[in-house]
Amino acid sequence: MEKPQEGIPSICIKNMVCPRCIRIIRDQFALLQLPVIDVRLGQVDFERPLQPEELEKVKLVLEDYGFELLEDRKARLVEQIKTLLIDVIHHKVEGISSNYSTYLAQAIGKDYSTLSHTFSSLEKVTIERFIILQKVEYIKAQLDYEELSLSEIASRLHYSSLSHLSKQFKTVTGYSPTEYKRLEIRNRRSLDQVS
């Protein structure tokens, strides 16, 4: 989710975590004949402000698909942080070139201490913990799909070593990556439920 551009009406949506979410919102808003300019993870920009009756229809559609309209400023900021992190951890092959705190501060345009405090006060978990949990879910997915080796996963997620990845994975899940792969039933969670 990017900062809304000056003068462009937009809404923020909670629980948008993947390209499929974008398609759902785009399709449903088209059915409502809303003046959409762009749909991104966590945000929709419009040609004009929505009328109250349009906003009510939007809320109903969002609820039907497990999304939520974010109207509170702090909740919007937290969702923006989550969306940026989910996107960079799960969807951007190239990752980021800086550390996560610098990346978030630059992407959002606020100092990291403000972001960290707001996130922790609303989510009851630190940004650092959220990042670790998202990385673990990414590792689980890659182990399930068997597309990348553990070394490739460690490199992609900027772990300092394979042992660091394994230790963090075991701390969160109770299993080493190898033990996890041997499990008959694997416990993966929806990205919007990770925290």
The domain spans of the chain are 10-71, 80-189
pLDDT of residue 15 exceeding 50, the answer is: yes
| pLDDT, average across residues 131-157 | 92
| pLDDT, average across residues 82-104 | 87
Amino acid at 111: D
Q: What is the pTM of this model?
A: 0.77
10-71: CATH topology is Alpha-Beta Plaits (3.30.70)
Residue 3, helix vs strand vs coil: coil
pLDDT at 106: 95
pLDDT of residue 3 exceeding 60, the answer is: no
Q: How far apart are the C-alpha atoms of 189 and 151, rounded to whole Å?
A: 23
179, 181, 183, 186: CA torsion to nearest 10: 120
Buried b (16+ CB within 10 A) or exposed e, 34-58: beeeebbbbbbbbeeebeeebeebb
Do 145 and 137 contact (CB within 8 A), yes or no? no
CATH 3.40.800.10 corresponds to the domain 80-189: no
pLDDT of residue 59 exceeding 80, the answer is: yes
| pLDDT, average across residues 147-162 | 92
| pLDDT, average across residues 144-152 | 90
Q: How far apart are the C-alpha atoms of 148 and 108, rounded to whole Å?
A: 31
pLDDT of residue 108 exceeding 80, the answer is: yes
| pLDDT, average across residues 35-53 | 94
pLDDT at 2: 47
Task: Please state the length of the chain.
Answer: 195
- The set of residues, in sequence order, having a beta carbon less than 8 Å from that of 52 and lying 6+ positions away, is none
pLDDT of residue 1 exceeding 50, the answer is: no
Question: pLDDT, tens digit, for every residue of 166-193?
Answer: 999 999 999 999 999 888 776 766 655 5
